């Protein structure tokens, strides 16, 4: 199985350095040397030789499994961080919460003002746009009315030019109607009886109202009036 790998040369500078390293446990004042590839930041002299140095929190000299004693280890300061985090008083915590709530209210109010301003700006822009459209529509309607009037006037002028005899002024038409009406009115004839009644009315102080209408007499009434008139004139003769 190993025959294919015999004589194969490994690549250089791809593996970490494997060397002696000193590990020290400060809680137990214990040091030991072992081979490792760990990266060490410090160095230490031991037995007249310099080694890479790495500090550990616990070792076989301080672990409870080997010592049979419980030991609290906090070299990283985790306990101190926890105490600092929860060492604030309730007053400070309440103050921080109140400040956060006040800031949230201010942020909400600012957002509401911004939305209201945006809404007002949109409404104003819409009003301006509506006014522009209304103005353009009114101008278009006015222009259309002028064009229609122009076309109507042109048609009327053309019709007058083609048929000049049929065009009569309103004044001439009114005169014609009055003339025809006067020609068609019947003439009122005065009967002898009406003349006799007029003569009788001359002796009285009362005058017949001008608005009184005289009704035409029948043939029998005219004959009776004529007979009465002849009877009055006979004694005089």
Q: Which of 56, 54, 59, 51 is nearest to 39 (CA)?
A: 54
Cβ-Cβ contacts under 8 Å for 75 (sequence gap 6 or more): 26, 27, 57
Top pLDDT among 83 and 112 is at: 112
> How would residue 137 be classed by pLDDT, with cut points 50, 70 and 90?
very high
Q: Give this prediction's pTM.
A: 0.28
Using alpha carbons, select from 6, 136, 26 the residue that is nearest to residue 75.
Answer: 26
Angle at 139 between CA 134 and CA 140, to 5 degrees: 95
Asked if residue 31 lies in contact with residue 61, where contact means CB atoms within 8 angstroms, the answer is: no
Please report, for the chain, the start and end positions of each structural domain, with discontinuous segments joined by +.
18-85, 90-152
Mean pLDDT across 198-209:
47
In the numeric block, which tokens belong to residue 33? 């040397």
Side by side, the strands of the sheet bearing 42-46 are 30-36, 19-25, 49-56, 42-46
Tokens standing for residue 38:
């760990």
Phi and psi (nearest 5°) for 112?
Answer: -65, -45
Q: How far is CA 44 from the centre of its chain?
A: 79
How far is the C-alpha of 184 from the C-alpha of 181, rounded, in Å? 5
Q: From the CB of residue 22, how many other CB atoms can be counted at a distance below 10 Å?
A: 22
Q: What is the pLDDT of residues 13-61, one digit of tens each?
A: 788 889 999 999 887 888 999 999 998 889 999 889 999 999 888 888 8
Q: What is the spatial distance between Cα 66 and Cα 60, in angstroms, rounded to a whole number?
A: 6
Mean pLDDT for 178-202 is: 48
In the numeric block, the tokens 């049979």 are attached to 68
The enclosing H or E element of 103 equals: helix 90-162
Count helices and strands (H / E) in the chain: 6, 4
Residue whose entry in the numeric block shows the structure tokens 């550990």: 56
Give residue 27's pLDDT. 78
Triad 12, 16, 22: Cα angle to 5°? 140
């Amino acid at each position: 199985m190993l025959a294919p790998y015999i004589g194969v040369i490994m690549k250089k500078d791809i593996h970490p350095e494997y060397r002696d390293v000193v590990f020290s446990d400060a809680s137990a004042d214990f040091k030991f040397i072992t081979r490792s590839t760990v990266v060490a930041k410090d160095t230490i002299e031991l037995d007249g030789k310099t080694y890479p140095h790495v500090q550990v929190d616990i070792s076989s000299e301080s672990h409870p499994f080997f010592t049979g004693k419980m030991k609290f280890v906090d070299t990283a300061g985790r306990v101190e961080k926890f105490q600092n985090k929860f060492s604030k008083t309730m007053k400070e915590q309440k103050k921080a919460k109140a400040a956060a709530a006040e800031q949230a209210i201010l942020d909400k109010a600012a957002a509401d003002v911004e939305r209201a301003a945006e809404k007002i700006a949109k409404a104003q822009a819409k009003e301006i746009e509506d006014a522009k459209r209304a103005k353009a529509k009114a101008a278009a309607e006015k222009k259309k009315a002028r064009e229609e009037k122009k076309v109507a006037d042109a048609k009327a002028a053309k019709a007058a030019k083609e048929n000049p005899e049929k065009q009569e002024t309103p004044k001439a038409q009114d005169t014609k109607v009055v003339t025809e009406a006067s020609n068609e009115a019947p003439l009122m004839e005065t009967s002898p009886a009406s003349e006799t009644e007029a003569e009788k009315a001359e002796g009285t102080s009362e005058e017949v109202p001008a608005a009184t209408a005289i009704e035409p007499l029948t043939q029998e009434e005219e004959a009776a009036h004529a007979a009465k008139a002849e009877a009055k004139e006979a004694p005089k003769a």
